[in-house]
Each structure stands twice: as C-alpha cells, then as structure tokens.
Structure 1
C-alpha cells in the first residue's frame, strides 16, 4: 500500500471535507427552508425626541434636532420610531388557518421598555395584504407595550411593514414577534439596513467559498511539497541499517546527521551482528517485491560464501583491541599468549603474573559477530573454544577447563569484562575507550593506532563492508545513504569513531590491498 502516506491521507481528508461542506450547504439550502417560516427584522429604530427646547443637540446617542409638531408636543420628548418588516421567508405559503394561537390574532409584537402611541401598516409591494387589516382590527391601545396582528395570509416572499411611534424608552431596546405556526416557526432574520451596502454573497456562500479555498490551498501545498525535490544528494523514504554491532555507534550518529541534512528520510539502525545482518538482508531480498529492498547490512570483513545476490562496498578500515579487567595488571600480551589463553591452556592469570591468582574468564561474542570472526581469523588463526558458561562466572560444562561465555553485543562484552575479575574480551577500538573497570591490551607491544594503519604490523584490523541486495537505484535512499557514508560528509563521523575511511588516499590503498 505505497499510496498510504501521510501526504495522501491529508489530501484525501481535505477533498472529503470540501465535498461534505458543499453537499451540506446544498442540503441546508434545499432541505431546511422547506417549512413554514415567518421572519421579522427591525429596519429602522430612530429617535425623534431627546432634544432641548431650542433644538440644540444634547450629544447623547440617538439625540435629534426637532422642529414643528415634534418640538411642540411634550409627549414626544422621548419618542422613537421603529420600522418592522414581517415576511414569509420560508418555502411554503402560510394561510390564515396556519396561525394556531386560537384567538383572533396571529402574531404579537412586543416592545420592551417602550409604549405604543400609534402604528401604520404598509405593504407597497403586496397591497392586497392590507385588506386583512379590517375595521375590526383596532390596533393597540395607546400606551400598550405590544401590538396584536391579525392572521394575515402570506405567500412565499410576501411581506408587510409596521411603522410604530413609541415613547418611554431609548432606541435599541428589544423588539420581538411571537406566534405559533403550524409546522413552522417565527424567527428573527437578517438583512441590510437602508444605510448598509448589501453583500455580494450570502453567508452560506461565503462559508462554502472559504472552506473550499482552504481545501484547494491545502491540496496545492501538498502537490508542491511532493514535487519539490529533496536537497542534492538526498532521498526520502525509510531505510534499515543492520549488521555489525561494532560499527553501530558510527551508523547511529550518521543516521541522525543524514536525517537532519535530508528532511523526509528515516534511517533505522538495528545491529545484531555481522552474520545476522547478512541473513536479514538475504531474507528481505528474497521476498516477492520489486527492486532492491531498503536494507543495508554492515559486516566486519567479507560476507560468508553462499550469498551471490549481495553487492559489497568497502566502507572503512576498522581497528579492534583486546580489553582486560582492571584487576589484571597486564598491558601487553604476545600473540602466542593470546592463542594459549583462547585454547584454554592458561587457566589462571598467575601463569603470566606469578603473584596474581585469578581464574581466566573468556568473554566472547556469539557466532553472528563479525568482530569475533575477525579475531579468530587474524589473531587466533583458528576458532574459539566451545561455550562453557551461561553466566560468564562459572563453568557449566564439566569437560571444560576455563570459563568462556558468548554475548550478543559489543556493549555486553564490555560490561562483563569491566565487572568480572580475570575477564578478557575484544571490541572495536573506540567502543573500548570510555568504559571504566577495564583497559586495552597491546599485542606484541603494538597498540591499535589509526594513523599507523598500513605501517604497523598490528594484526587485529579488518575492512568494514556494506552490503545491499543487488544494485539499488541511483535515486534511492539506499544509494544516497551509502554515498553519504562512504564518500560524503559522513567520513568525518567515521574518522571521529576511530576508523579509516576507504575513500581517503591512505584508506584507498589499504582497502585495495585487503
């Protein structure tokens, strides 16, 4: 399911949101108004009072300059005029029988804090509506706070207006219309006042436009992001780097650096040993999938035979060292002494240090370890003894004469050597430099020094190889990361960890010699 990416999910969700909003707007416009509705709104609420006898403006909100009748009538000193529009803004006609209050009136208009003095009903666009305001409708009594309106039939869009003269309160006090409509309701609607400029689009149209615009912008941003190439030399995707635990510290630091330099990439490091990494790569490549899998296996030394599909690249020359518990005051061992120790011929350190009585404990790596394979091939010249201990402290095999245990990683070996008296083990050079409780041991008086590689006969060294399943595509994350590791800025990280990159002039010569 290659399409199931974060970008595609966002695009799909955005498109669905746009469709749902559009569909919802159409449904709202077509479905919701299909009921009987009477809407009302105040189109004018202004003062005709609140002025001094001389006509000077008082400065209060709603103040007015009065002349003539308004100025000569004391009762109108606090008068206001309200223009109220009442209309059928639903999708169905309203007849007189649809008013269900039960009395002779259909609607009631209430003016909070104000008293009605006079009212005029107008219907310039629908003059026949005025015939329903018969002589039997006497209107409000002077001083009432409400007007009861007759049951006026209203076709769709029909309306009439009330111009009401009020006293006793300021402008802006609430005006409400109440009444019961069969299968409908009365509500406040909205429109522009005479001084307002009408909007080009309705509220629903504006909402739909904004939402769809956001959707389009989001989709465009995703498309632009997809079409924007990564930085030169970078690639996007997910890569797994497995294999050597000795080289794992280098790869972990490189992975973080690559992810920072190349946004959109993820490099997972799962080190379980060189041989285990080769097998994992083989299993990934054998799966029925197109192309080379996004897996790189790092190996201390060349891969075992029997993996013809794997392609190798030389990465660096790695140095390894023996490490010894600090309780053993030995700084150098001869090659012969090391071989005798690992053949089980030296069982106690007093054979090398007469004043010290401490059993020898051989802390080794498991069979998947490239570090162990290099140690056996370049130092011992043979395989190690069989495993004789599960806890690295005591012998479990009665036929064995020396403690030898196997651990899964370089970190476990270092921790065990530092903890157990008389313990000796081996590790990649830089990994054995920071832990307390142990020290590095020279071989025949020679110590592992990166600057002396190729000049010193120090035997415990090997080339680090990177393996892929066949030739990965040039634009793949696998190729990009390998180039970053072997020839790119990753060389600085390799050097920092005590390895000599094969791409340097000196490393090129040594790696070429094998």
Structure 2
C-alpha cells in the first residue's frame, strides 16, 4: 500500500511525456547514426591547417635560398568516410599517383609528409629505399596511393614561393565509389568531426536535452558538470600584469565546474615562481602542489629545475606617462637616457619644465625584467631613490625613482604625479584614467601589437607548474581550459594572443620575438 503513491508519481502525465520524448530522441539519434554511416561511404577530406609567410632569416630555413613571398602551408588529408580506402580505390591512370595538390599563383619549392596517423602510413610514401612517392612540379604536388582506414590521416608540410598566403589550394583525384572534398578548417590539433553538422545538432539536441529533462523529472538529480571538469582548490599566483585576465578565466571555469575553487593571488612573476618552487620542495616528488605561477617571460635559465613551463599567450606592454606630459613618442635611445639619469627633465624632450619621476616595479616583477631586456638593452634601472615617488631620498641622487608592488599601483601613481613615467600591460594602461601611452620608435602599443613582431615591448606569458600535473587534477584541467578551451576567447578579448592558435603558434615559438635591437 505504501508504494502506490510512489508509482502514481512515476506514472504522472509529465513523466510519461518525458519518457516517450526521451525514447523518441534516442530513436532519432540511432537513425541519424545509421544514416550517416550508410550514405557517407568512401570519402577523403582535406583542410589547410596553416598558411603563413616565412621569414627568410628564420633559422629553420636558413639553408634554403632566399625567395620572394615565401610561404609555408600545412595540409591535413584524412579518411572522413565510413569505409576503408585501399590502394586500388584510386582511379588515376598513373599507378604511382593517387592525389594531386594544386596551388593557385604559387610555386612549390619543397614538400614533406609529417605526422601520419598511424605512423606506419609513412611506408606508403616510399617507392624504394632511395625514392619518395611525394613529387612536385611547378604549382603541383603529386601524392602516392596511400591506403587509409576511417579516421586515419597524414599531413603535408609544403614550402612555396611567388604568391601570397591563403591563395586557393585544391586537391583532386578519383576514388572509386567515393569522392575527394575540402573540409572546414580547424585548429591544428583538433580532430575532424565524426558526423556532419546537421546530424550532430540533431543528436545533441534530442539525446542530451531530452534525456537530461527526463532525468531531472524522474530521478531528481542535479545535472553533472562537464566531463573535463575537476574538483578541489587551485591557487594562481605570479604576474600582476596578467592577473585581470586570469581572474576572468578563473570565474568562467568555476561557473562551468561549480565544485572547483580557483583563487588568483598575484604577487609578481619572480615571487610567484619562487613560491611555487618552494611549495613543490615541501610536498616532495610524490604530490604536486595545487599552484600555478604566471610569469611575464621565462624563468632564468637553470633556475628551479623541477618547474614545468607552459606557454600561454603573447602579452604586450606600454610605456605610460602622466597626462600633463604632452610628449607622445620616445625613441629607444631617449628612454635609455632617461633611465640612465642623463635626461632628468621633460623640457629636454620638448615637454614642460617638470622633473621626470620614474615609477617602477620591484625586483620580483616580470614586467620590470622585460622592460630591462626589451627596452633598456639589458641594462638595469637606476637605484631606488624615493619612498614617495616625488622626492629624492638624498640630494646627491641623480634621478627620482620609486618601486611599487603591482601594475595597478604603478598606473595609479603615474596618473597622480605630474611628470611621472612608468610601464604597464597594454590593456590595463589603455583603461586607466590620467595616463597616456607613448609610442616607442613610432610603434604604437595597441592591443594588436601582440601580433606584430616589430613592436619591441612584448613577451610570452608562461604558466609554471611543479612538474607535470596529474591528468585528473584541477591544475591540469584548468591549464587545458586556459590554453585550448574557452580561456582562449578570454585571452583574445583581453588583448593577448593565445599561443595555441594558428596566429599565435609562430610567435610563441620565437624566443627572441619582439626583442629590442
């Protein structure tokens, strides 16, 4: 008798509708999968994963002759159908040729196969011990007949000349009972979708939404977090310049993974890296501390050998001055003269009769180290000479220079003191009242400067962990979210160039990018 009300609840009209709807959704999903596998048949897809200009002075290509408009293209060729493609499925009359890659307006200089999956595919590109099946002539690359199971792929790295990037690229060739077609371009390491967009949309909408609805009504359980979420607590320390965007990423992660807590407590790049190393030493080799240290630029060579670096984004910085200073541009030579103490008044630079007040960061600051390396040519800043940033500690001091703990303090002090000059991350400077950003050698510190190697005041932002965090840890999940997930959009919105994008890949692989000459 006690069970009857419960059964009545389960057989309510709402629950019956939910159950029937869920069954329909699952049935439609199975039908979509069956239809997709049946009609796709044999198919080879291709997509351009990278198409960039090549600097002739790049050490990777220094052995090749200097060529005009040199470009580098990475092509991915994949079996995106439902059936195997065998050697005999290719229909070209030339038995040694399967597919032809053609470039509009460009001339092929060299071509090589890279990253075959599985690796055994590489054997199909060798005609003999001394002959390769990958040939090129004029604007074409000829590929051998490579057997591919569903989901298998290989990539071509091709160097071209004589034309601009993103010119037309086409692959032609016959597949008996199948087709060769272009696919949507996606980031380099992303796998192609198993199903077409309509089928994915129908499957997701009917299966996930309806099943979750039925589960909420009948079982009454909360919707679980995304599969890649991790639980626990994580501390992000280090760079104050990078702290604002890390706080946004932390809040976004917590909103998607509600059983996690990510605290951003920026204290300066060097101090954050040092504290991470100390925490790792205390916990020992068996357990990695739940800490990530952000650093403006890499840690010193040879220091903290147990730390593992992860390149996050290219970050741009700016030289800022008080609004009362009408100077808008400084050359690298003038900046160095100011920080040597050779120029101590703005009237020497066409400005008002005001002493130049140097508002700097402490020695733990990564921004200060970047300013020293990129702008001051490796020379350090003058000694600390002022406690209040406006009066000398001693009449014999040549300059007035103070040191502050954070980017926000630097910007606030420069805005408050007439004649003050300092440095900051670009977006923080642009949004601060009372300061103006200065061009350096005529180059503007706009947010897009991160993509322009000619602007000298840029650096790579690093995330450091104590060793490699376990795959199921909150540190690993949060790093993946930041580097390859939703965090990329927040990095871009913050004026930074994510390293794991086609545009950022090349900049983040250049350790000297943006260095002053």
Query: Which TM-score tier does this pair reach, normalised by the shorter chain?
Result: 0.5 to 0.7
Q: Residues of 2 paired with 1:229 and 1:288: CA distance?
A: 32
Partner of 1:232: 227
Instruction: Measure the CA separation in 2 of the matches of 1:458 and 1:231.
Output: 40
Return the match for 1:264 from 255, 259, 263: 259
* Contact 2:310-2:463 at 8 Å conserved across structures: yes
Q: How many Å separate the matches in 1 of 2:306 and 2:321? A: 40
User: Which residue does the alignment assign to 1:387?
Assistant: 384
- Residue among 369, 374, 381 paired with 2:370: 374
> Could you tell me whether the CA contact under 8 Å between 1:230 and 1:236 is conserved in 2?
no
Counterpart-to-counterpart distance in 2, 1:288 and 1:439? 46
Which of 398, 402, 410 matches 1:401? 398
Q: 1:424 is matched with which residue: 407, 414, 421? A: 421
Match in the other structure for 2:332: 335
CA distance in 2, matches of 1:285, 1:496: 33
Q: What's 1:442 paired with?
A: 439
> Take 1:351 and 1:282, find their aligned partners in 2: how far apart are those partners?
46
**Contact 2:316–2:449, Cα closer than 8 Å, also in 1:** no
Asked if 1:299 is matched to 2:295, the reply is yes
Matches within 5 A, 1:111-260: 230-260=225-255
2:475 to 469, 475, 478: 478
How many angstroms does 1:454 deviate by? 4.6
Alignment equivalent of 1:358, drawn from 354, 364, 372: 354
Q: Distance in 2 between matches of 1:497 and 1:399?
A: 43
CA contact (8 A) 1:241 1:296 kept: yes
**What TM-score do the two structures reach when normalised by structure 1?**
0.55
| Partner residue in 2 for 1:278 | 273
CA distance in 2, matches of 1:307, 1:456: 29
Q: Secondary structure at the match of 2:470?
A: coil
How many residue pairs match? The answer is 290
Separation in structure 1 between the aligned mates of residue 355 and residue 401 of structure 2, nearest angstrom: 11
The DSSP-based 3-state class of the residue aligned with 1:513 is coil
Residue 397 of structure 1 aligns to a residue whose secondary structure is coil
Q: CA deviation at 1:240?
A: 0.2
Q: Which runs of 5+ in 2 are unaligned?
A: 1-218, 512-517
Q: Secondary structure at the match of 2:283?
A: coil
The superposition leaves residues 22-62 of structure 1 with CA deviations (integer Å, 9 ceiling, x where unpaired) of xxxxxxxxxxxxxxxxxxxxxxxxxxxxxxxxxxxxxxxxx
**Residue 410 (structure 1) aligns with:** 407
1:512 aligns with 2:512: no
Aligned-partner Cα distance in 2 for 1:454–1:441: 19
Residues 408-445 of structure 1, C-alpha deviation per residue, up to 9 Å, x if partnerless?
Answer: 00000000000001000000010001121111000011
Question: How far apart are 1:448 and its partner, in Å?
Answer: 2.1
Q: Distance in 2 between matches of 1:318 and 1:281?
A: 22
What is the rounded CA distance, in whole Å, between the counterparts of 1:373 and 1:333 in structure 2? 20
Shift of residue 230, structure 1, vs aligned partner = 4.0
Residue 394 of structure 1 aligns to a residue in which SS? coil
Question: Equivalents in 2 of 1:451, 1:306: separation in Å?
Answer: 32
Question: After the TM superposition, which segments of 4 or more aligned residues of structure 1 sit over 3 Å from their partners?
Answer: 449-456
SS at match of 1:323: strand
Q: CA deviation at 1:329?
A: 0.1
User: Deviations 1:289-327 (Å, cap 9, x if unpaired)?
Assistant: 541110000000001242000000000000000000000
Pairwise CA RMSD of aligned residues? 1.8
1:324 correspondence with 2:317: no
- Over 3 Å counting, the alpha-carbon distance change for 1:279 and 1:399 in structure 2 is same
Alpha-carbon displacement from aligned partner over 1:337-366 (angstroms, at most 9, x marks no partner): 111011111111111126x21001000000
The CA distance in 1 between the partners of 2:309 and 2:390, in whole Å, is 39
- Segment of structure 1 superposing worse, 467-476 or 449-458: 449-458
